[in-house]
Structure formats: structure tokens, C-alpha cells
Structure 1
Amino acid sequence: MAKEFKRTYKFAAYTSTFLTFFLTLVVGVFFYFSEIEMYWFLVLFSIVCFSFSFFFIQYRVEKFIYRRVKKIYDDVRLLDASTFDKKQITTDMATLTREVERFAETKKIEIETLKGRENYRKEFMGNVSHELKTPLFTVQGYILTLLDGALEDKAVRKKYLQRANKGVERLIYIVKDLDMITKLEVGDLNLNKERFNIIELIQGVFDLLEMKAAKKNITLTFDKEYSKRVIVEADRDRIQQVLTNLIVNSLKYGKKDGTTEISIEDLIKNKVIVRVTDNGEGIPKDKIPRLFERFFRVDQSGSRKEGGSGLGLSIVKHILEAHGEKIYLESQLGVGSEFSFTLEKAK
């Protein structure tokens, strides 16, 4: 299909036709009154006049628009002048309008993205400040109390130093998690992938958290007895951290005398899915989209009593993404939650 005649050419063609018709008419009237028959001259004159008018008008108008539009771009610095050439500017105002609208829409999206990042940065800085100042003020309070005279009392001194030490440990915990999540986000954390039995790893995490679960009489269990090994290929230490964070999270929000259950299922040929299910408090629907954000807490007061840095789930998400895997969440308020993630089977 032939290309549609450009509007820029239509403009030049219509203008040239008008000028040609007018000038030919003038010349024709001149020869009519001069009684000179020069029809072939008039035809040739029309063709030459039209051709010259068309190219001259097209060139002049394009040059006119190009210089002025380029000046606008240069003045407001919206576009890089080095990428701006004559081929991009014609008398086709519809094309020019579309280009400007497209550019404006792109810039609008960029501005909205920057605003979102700025809001996220402000919120993150506020969260970091809030998380750090609590243990800092606690440590400072105990030290000042000791300096004000309690240092001489051995019993008080030991108790306050122990409490101050707990505050320092919490600070170290937060800083370590921040360091890890930063490395994960910039891709600076090297994964040491190996083959291992995921059943054995989960049982090891159960053993580590047995005492913590006993405080609320929560049972840590598999959904069934796994007689065969399930061999996966991943960074063993990082996956242990994922499982530890998910199970600790289930213990924090789990009901007394409840259960935290883990199941492993074949997902596709080369994948397994690990599910961590509890019958705890559950998570409100409006909180689920933000659950994996840094420092986000469903229950501000309750979670702080339990401790933690507020970075656990965010770290879990980044570790799994570093493995090229996904994490999923299903939760119902008052019923419980299920976190699940995929892993690659060992070949």
C-alpha cells in the first residue's frame, strides 16, 4: 500500500498550486491582451512555477518551525539538543504534537516515580531513626543512671549493665540486617549454592527454635512424615535464614497452644514449593501488599514487644529473589497465614 501523502507536503502543494494558478492567470491575461499565442509557454511556466514554489515553501516552513521549536527545547532544556535533527521536525504539526505529548507523558511518569522514591526514602529514614533511637535511649538511660550514683551498688550495676547490653545487641542486630538487605538490593551478596536435603534443614531450624516455640506452647511440625529426602540446590545458609525468619514470624503472631506446620510439594518438574502455615492472628487484607517492605509492621506495639529489627520479611523476599525464586502469601484475619516459596530441585 502506498504511503499516505504527508500533511507537510499537502501544505506546500496547496500553497504552490494557488501561487501557480494565480501567476499563470496573470501571465495568461498579459499574453491575451498582447495577442500572443504562447500556450506551451504557459504550460511550461506552470510546471516550473509549481515545482519551485513547492520545494521553496517546504524548505522555508520546515526551517522556520525547526529553528523555533529547537530554541524552545534548548531554552527549557527538555530534550538533548544532540539528539535533535532536522528529520524530526517538519511542518506536520500533528506529528509534532504527538511527539511533545509522548515526551510530556514520559516526563510525568518519571516525576511520579521520583516522588514515590522520595516518599519511600523519607519513610525509610524515619523508620531507621525510630528503630535505632529506642535501644539507644535505653542504653543511654541505664548508663546515666549508673553514672548518677548507682555504680556503687553491685546488684544494680550488674542488672543495668545487662539491660544496656541487651540494647546494644538489638542495635547490632538491626545494623547487621540493614547491611545484609543493602547487599541484597545492590546484588553484592554472593550466593554459595550447594545440594542439600531441605527436610533435614527444616528439622534443624525446628530444633533451634524449640525453646522459643515452647514459651507459647506452639507445636513445630511437618504436615506428614517425609521418608524420602528432598534435595534442592541453593545457598544453604541463606535458605536457613529464610526458614528461620518465617517460623519466628509465625511464633510472634501465633496463638498460644497453636501450630506452625511446614509442607514440601512438587510444583513443576524442576521446582518444589515450601509452605509455612500457622493458625495465628492472620493479617488484614489492606496490610498484605506492604508486608515485605523494610520496617513495616502489622502491629506496631505488639511486634516491638517481641523484638526483631522489622527487616525479617524484607530480607526473606530479597534472598529468594537473589535465587531467582518467588515468595507468596495467603492470610485470613483470625484464621492464620501461609507463606510459601519455591526452590530449584537438584539435578
Structure 2
Amino acid sequence: MDRSTSLVAELLKTVPRLRTQIYFKSSLTALSHAMEDQVLASFDPPLVIASFQQERFYRQEAHRYRRLGKKSDQIYIFSAPDTSFNDEDSRSTTINFAAEDTLANEWHLVVIGKTFTSCLVCQECSVSENQQASSVDSARRFEGIWTFDEEVAKTTASFLLDKVLDYRPELSDKIATAREHYCQQVSSLTTEDKKAQPDPFVERLLTHLQAGQYRLIRAYSSIAQKEEKERLLRSLTNAIRQSLDIHEILEITVQELGEALSACRCLVYRCRTDTTTAKIKHEFLQSHVISVKDETWPVANNPLLKKVQQDQTPLYIQETAKETTIQESPLLSSLVKENQIQSWLLVPLLYQGDVIGMIELHHCQENGSPWSENDIELVEAIAPQIGLALTQAEAYANLESLNEQLEALEQTRSNLVAITGHELRTPLSTIQVCLESLISEPDMSEELRQVMLSTAMNDAERMRRLVQDFLTLSRLESGRIEWNPEPMSVEECIELSLSNIRGQNTENPLPTIENESKEELPLAYVDGEWLVEVLAKLLDNACKFTEKDGKITLSATPQSGNTVQVTVADTGRGIEPSRLETVFDRFYQEEGALQRTTGGTGLGLAICRQIVNKWGGEIWAESKGKNNGTKFHFTVPIAKEARVKSAARS
């Protein structure tokens, strides 16, 4: 007999009338013991052929076969290649079958005596990895035949004796004797001499044993499912406790759920009832499945997600090809086709009655195992933990943001105290000295009196501008500014800002200022007062940091038909490239708050950024570093009427 051929298959081919049945290992153990006990209770020497898949199985029964060896010299034992037979086993004929032999996956026991025959021929059923992991040894399943039929027993014995001869050819004489005495044609015996047959009690006992094993397997399965549920919950709970990093928590979630439910794809993402789309950042994926990571997932236009959000309950579609909602929606049909979704499970993440996210599991193969109610309940049990984690992470992020804001406020307060103390104390001291001099020296010359008054007025104006900047920035940041946008001429605003800066510096010489905005510009849709304020502050800033023999240039250029870009460039001291963004922070000053050579509070550029942001523009700085000058750019929106004319001209 070929070593690669199953004995069950060979027997079914020889005796076609036979039908196989499923047996559990515990049932086969009981049957084998009963057959062996029948031999031990008889007086006639029988033929016994047994096969054991592994050495440990044989070791468990070795003591019984030593006793059987005393009853007959025709005891044959097959076992795994690594089995070490003891000297006590010499009463029996032992055979180590090859590793590739089908006996490694089979369970056989044949007993042929004068008054009885019995035959047990089985091969182990293949099971999935999950079943193997969740099953105990006694619940292993075998497919085969158990019978008292004399013809079947002798046919099976003949096949097994062929295997003995294949492995042990030196036993040919002994095997010939066994064939002669035990494997001849079925004898015609009288009713009194008929061999023992199984009675109804034995069959009922076996049925009861099988039924009990089925109940035991269901219990084991239930326990395994509960254990898996508890394991996942513990894993996620530990992840939440050990880290507030939501990325790490969601990565663990998709991995654990995807593996536990044997999904082809598992997604977890944030979404609320008002979410339009979601970015997929966390994904578990089998090797043969298309990835959707970093893709935009539709939410607002997805009827399935809307239903889950409204009902706040899971939705399971076992066959997407048969789901009416999917077939009627072009969006869902395209989504299913592009991502090969055969089965679809959606479970909402809830927190205090609101949907804050979604778990999706996909089968992408037609033969994917359907998810059971227990599987869905498992995901439902995990969902609140993930919802809690999302909420905690958001709360933690908000807390960090608040801490950063508090730190910024504290820094602002410190800067405010330092700058206010310096900027207010100096002009106040000057004003006080001037006034005291005017009061205490009535005979002061008229010329000196005018110098004192002029100095006091200049420092009073300096204080006024300081206070005005504080109030302006406060109103801008709190949103208490009333905006009155209208179509405005950018050229006129530039001219007004130039007049403003020249009027404020009549006594001190300014750098050369050139207006290069000669071409006709489209009207801008802004509040003209605030546009002039931005230009004036940028010009004032350029004048402070540019030598008297330097140059300041203003220019304005239309951009893409929607905005006008205004540039204020100077040849002054420049800005380090690493600080080009920092200069727009409140109270920032290149030289430090109290060690600078120029006046001001460090609020001018912060005010400019707030104003430009209010009308939806952008502001930025360019500089190649120290003594290389600086360019400040900002954009203003073009009025709709100007856009229409520009489009018509083009």
C-alpha cells in the first residue's frame, strides 16, 4: 500500500457501501479502550493492529499493550518515527513509520478474534489556526469508520499488514501466518457461532458521548470568545492607561481587531454628525488587500454611515453585491468596487450619546468567513473604550493647548510689564523734568521754554502711540473691531500712508522712500482705514531700521486676478532667516525689549498680521540676513467688480 494514500480512502474505495462519520478524540479513546478490554476479557489469542500519531499517545497506552502482548503474539504497533520502544514492548511487533506516511494523521485499531471482530479507521480533520488555538486536545476531530463488520475488519487488517511488510520485510513469515489465521474470507457460521455484534446500548453510549463532546466544544468556544473579548479589552485598557497618544492607541486597536476577527481590512477614524470627509490614518491590512491609508473617506454623502450615525447601532452587510442601498448609490458602488469590499461591518464610537468616530471591518474575498453575533458584540464591547480614549486624548490635547496659551499669556504679561515700565517711565520722566523746570524757573528764556514744551509734547505723543497700540491689538484679538470693507484704490492708500509717515517725522530726516506702484491697479475690497494703518506701520518699521542714507521702496502687483500683493522693501539691517516668522509675534524686538537702539513696543508687526488676517490675506517677510535689508509682503483681495473687468480684458 502506498505510504501517501490514506487508509480511509483506500477502504472506502474497496468497500463503497461504507459511510464515514465524525468522531472526537475523546470518543475514539473510549472506543479503543472498549475494543482492547474485549481482547483482555477473552481467552482466544487475537490479531491486534494499532497506530499512534505521536510517541506521547503511545506512552499513555503502553501498559495496556504490554498486557495485550501476553494474550497473543500477533500484536502490531505503529508509532511516530521518534518513538523509543522499551524492551518490555518486545512481546509486540513495533514499527516506526516514516514522517511522510499518512499514518501520522490517522488513528487505527483493528481487532480480529475467533468470536469477535471490531475495526476503527479514522483520519484527522484539518482545522483552522483559530480553531486549533481555541480547542483542547480531547476536542480534536477525526473522520472515519467504526464497525464490527467482519469483512471490513479483515480488509483493513490486510492493508495494515501490507504496511508492516513494507517497513519490516523480515517479518514476512509471521505476516503470512497472520493472514492465514485471521484474514481469510468471511466464514459461514451458524447463528450460535456468529461473532459478537454491537448491541443498541453500545451505540446509544457512543451517541451520548459524542453529544456530550459537542456540548463541551460549544462551552469551550464560548469561553474562548469571552477570553478573547477580555484580552482585547485588557489590551486596549492598558494602552489607554499607559499612553495618551491617540495615534498609538488607534494603531493597537486596528491591529488587535483586524487579527481577532480575521478581517482583510480594519479602519478606525474620527467623524461626527457634521463631518464631511475623514482622513484614514489608522489601518490594519492583510497582504493581498488594497490599502486606503491617507485617503479621504466620504462621510456626509455615505448613506450607510448616516444610518449608523442616526441609529447609533452597528450595521453589518454580509454581501455588498446584494445590498440595495449600495447598488442604488453611485458613491457606495464605486467605493465597494475600488476597495474590493465583499462584507462590510460598521460600528460607531460613542461618547455621552454622540458619535465621535467609526470602526470599519472589511472582507475583501468572496470566501471570507461571515462575522457572527459574538464577533459584532466583541467590537461593540471595545467601541466605548475607544470612544473614551478619543475623548481623553482630545481633552489632553486641549489641556496642552491651554497650557501653551497660559505660558504665552505669562510671557506677554512679563513683556508688558518690562516694556510698559521702560516705554512709559522714560517719557514720563522727561515730561516731569520739563514741567518742573518751567514751574521752578519763571525767568527761563522764551527759546528754552519752547524747547521744554516741545520735548514734553513729543514724549506725550510717544506715550499716546504706545497706549494706542495696546488698545488696537487688544480690540483686534478680541474681535471687537467693526470692519467696513468697500472697493478701495490701493494707490490712494499708499499715498495716504506716505503722507502720514512724512507728517510724523518733520524734524528728523527719513531714508529715501520711492513709490514704484505706477501701473493701474484693480480696486481692493478692504477697509481703507486699516489698509493705511498696515502700510503706515510697515513704513514706520522700515524707517526705524534703515540708515538715513538708505532706501525704502513700495510696490504693488496684481496676483492671479484675485489679490494684489503689496511690498515694502528696505536696505536696512535685515533679519536672520530663522526669525522671519517670529518677528510677527507680540512684543518681539530684534535687539531685545530693553536693550534696543530704536523706539517702539514690538506690537506693530503683530497688529499688521491681525489686520491682514481679518480680510483673509497673508503677510510674510523675506531677508538674507544681517545688513541685507528686508522685504515685507502682504496681500489684499480684489473687489468683485475689478475681477470681472480683469476677466473680460483677458
Do they fold alike, i.e. is TM over 0.5? Answer: yes
Please give the alpha-carbon distance, in whole angstroms, between the structure 1 residues aligned to 2:244 and 2:578: 42
- Secondary structure in structure 2 of the residue aligned to 1:340: strand
Summarize the Cα distance change of 1:290–1:239 in structure 2 as closer, same or farther, 3 Å threshold: same
Provide, for residues 31-87 of structure 1, a one-character-per-residue CA deviation record: whole Å limited to 9, x for no partner: xxxx8343333333222222233224533674698699879989x999998589985
Residue 195 (structure 1) aligned with residue 490 (structure 2): no
Structure 1 segment 108-127 matched on structure 2, within 5 A: 113-127=401-415
The root-mean-square deviation of aligned C-alpha atoms, in Å, is 4.6
Amino acid in structure 2 at the alignment position of 1:200: E
Hey, what does 1:208 align to over in structure 2?
500
Q: Quick check: 1:20–1:49 contact (8 Å CA) kept in 2?
A: no
Summarize the Cα distance change of 1:160–1:69 in structure 2 as closer, same or farther, 3 Å threshold: farther
Structure 1 segment 145-224 matched on structure 2, within 5 A: 151-154=439-442, 155=444, 167=459, 169-211=461-503, 212=505, 215-223=508-516
Amino acid in structure 1 at the alignment position of 2:478: V
- Secondary structure in structure 1 of the residue aligned to 2:617: coil
Summarize the Cα distance change of 1:224–1:245 in structure 2 as closer, same or farther, 3 Å threshold: closer
Amino acid in structure 1 at the alignment position of 2:552: T
Hey, what does 1:53 align to over in structure 2?
220
* TM-score, normalisation: structure 1: 0.72
| % identity of equivalent residues | 21
Amino acid in structure 2 at the alignment position of 1:17: S
- Secondary structure in structure 2 of the residue aligned to 1:269: coil
Amino acid in structure 2 at the alignment position of 1:339: F
Q: Quick check: 1:292–1:317 contact (8 Å CA) kept in 2?
A: yes
Deviation at residue 215 of structure 1 after TM alignment: 3.1
Amino acid in structure 1 at the alignment position of 2:440: E
Q: Quick check: 2:521–2:557 contact (8 Å CA) kept in 1?
A: no
Q: Quick check: 1:73–1:81 contact (8 Å CA) kept in 2?
A: no
Deviation at residue 177 of structure 1 after TM alignment: 1.9
* TM-score, normalisation: structure 2: 0.41
Residue 43 (structure 1) aligned with residue 161 (structure 2): no
Please give the alpha-carbon distance, in whole angstroms, between the structure 1 residues aligned to 2:389 and 2:237: 16
Hey, what does 1:273 align to over in structure 2?
565
Summarize the Cα distance change of 1:39–1:178 in structure 2 as closer, same or farther, 3 Å threshold: farther
The number of aligned residues is 321
Summarize the Cα distance change of 1:316–1:136 in structure 2 as closer, same or farther, 3 Å threshold: closer
Deviation at residue 143 of structure 1 after TM alignment: 7.8
Q: Quick check: 2:491–2:517 contact (8 Å CA) kept in 1?
A: no
Summarize the Cα distance change of 1:302–1:120 in structure 2 as closer, same or farther, 3 Å threshold: closer
Q: Quick check: 1:19–1:50 contact (8 Å CA) kept in 2?
A: no
Q: Report 1 or 2 for greater relative contact order, CA contacts < 8 Å, sequence distance ≥ 6.
A: 1
Amino acid in structure 1 at the alignment position of 2:411: E
Please give the alpha-carbon distance, in whole angstroms, between the structure 1 residues aligned to 2:217 and 2:546: 87
Provide, for residues 230-253 of structure 1, a one-character-per-residue CA deviation record: whole Å limited to 9, x for no partner: 311111001100000111111111
Deviation at residue 139 of structure 1 after TM alignment: 5.8
Unaligned residue ranges in structure 1 (runs of 5+) = 1-9, 23-34, 91-95
Deviation at residue 266 of structure 1 after TM alignment: 1.7
Residue 242 (structure 1) aligned with residue 546 (structure 2): no
- Name whichever of 107-116 and 318-327 sits farther off: 107-116
Deviation at residue 308 of structure 1 after TM alignment: 2.4
- Name whichever of 48-57 and 321-330 sits farther off: 48-57
- Name whichever of 244-253 and 139-148 sits farther off: 139-148
Deviation at residue 323 of structure 1 after TM alignment: 0.6
Unaligned residue ranges in structure 2 (runs of 5+) = 1-128, 141-200, 247-349, 357-376, 642-650
Amino acid in structure 2 at the alignment position of 1:203: E
Hey, what does 2:420 align to over in structure 1?
132
Please give the alpha-carbon distance, in whole angstroms, between the structure 2 residues aligned to 1:214 and 1:163: 12
Deviation at residue 21 of structure 1 after TM alignment: 2.5
Amino acid in structure 2 at the alignment position of 1:307: G
Higher strand share: 2
Q: Quick check: 1:142–1:160 contact (8 Å CA) kept in 2?
A: no
